[in-house]
Amino acid sequence: MKKLIAIVGARPQFIKHFALENEARKMFDLKTIHTGQHYDDNMSKVFFDRLGMKRPDYMLSLGGGEHGTQTGRMMIEIENILQVEKPDAVLVYGDTNSTLAGALTAAKMHIPVAHVEAGLRSYNKEMPEEINRVLTDHVSEWLFVPGETAVQNLRKEGITHQVYNVGDIMKDLVMKSVSHKWLVKPADASIPYFYVTIHRPYNTDEPARLQYVLKSLQKLGKKAVFAIHPRTRNAMKNYGLSFSDYPNIQFIEPQGYFESLGWMYYSHGVITDSGGMQKEAYWMQKKCVTVRKETEWVETLENGCNTLVFEELTNLDDLLNDCSGNYYHSETYGDGNSASKIVEVLS
């Protein structure tokens, strides 16, 4: 069997890899490197214990540090592993520092790279993710894109060879989670609420901005259930902002994958600055407000299914209640069988 090494470094990549692993193991000697860029066993162990996912073959501890330092350390460790394993190809997901480190290292070693979730563009180069995804696309041999917009983005940059529109691999798992009832229903789902996650630097790293976001959530007509990211929690502590100042917000710990899907599924809408949650809300037919100036997932904006808001958050209630329910397209980002299509191409 050909040897394939997959590199993951953050929870969204871990989820994508779970969706791909079972299919890939049918055709490849598959090994996994987890860089440790972000890792929380409480969030991830359900994949091992309940759903039988194989633990990473290599578990590194390379979280923290500035972007250049972190990426460089990853490249050194990944290079050492690739020299020993000698894979036929390296597979990377998304747009983290782990993605770029894996892709650059493999390319410099003349090992072909497969990029899952290629072709996305925010056209905001202040986002480190934008730099990572552009560079990764330009050194990849196979580019697996989630939709037609990504195909067009790559074409504008002169990339047309071995571009495959396979749909979004995260849709595979979301659809299975709903149909197999893997998602976890919240204990108090009967009380109307909006589900919230906010963690990006432009929403958390300035006291006035974070306070404005929290005040806007406090004014919502329904309760805000806020799964608070460690970055946001630390920012609140540093700025002297107390949970008790916002009684309309129910602050909860970061949620496991199936718990988070459950909170979304039973909510009256989603407020987030996450990329993945925009899609998950879309597939579960939940109105989403994205607290950003741009999104890579432009298809979710069609007919107001997802709305971008950044400067003016005073009308969140109106936006969340503006949901006709007639604009969800079942085939947007594929049919939920991306993993098998990726494996078919690679094999």
Cα torsion 154, 157, 161, 162: sign:
negative
The CA–CA distances, whole Å, from 323 to 206, 254, 258, 327 equal 32, 27, 25, 9
**Tokens read off for 74:** 């990853």
Decide: residue 143, CB within 10 A, 0-12 exposed, 13-18 middle, 19+ buried. Answer: buried
Strands 142-145 and 270-272: unpaired
Number of other residues whose CB lies within 10 A of the CB of residue 274 = 21
Nearest 5°: the CA angle 305, 143, 285 is 15
Place of tokens 């290292």: 105
- Residue of 161, 199, 268, 329 marked catalytic: 199
Number of other residues whose CB lies within 10 A of the CB of residue 201 = 14
161 annotated active-site: no
Residues catalogued as catalytic: 199
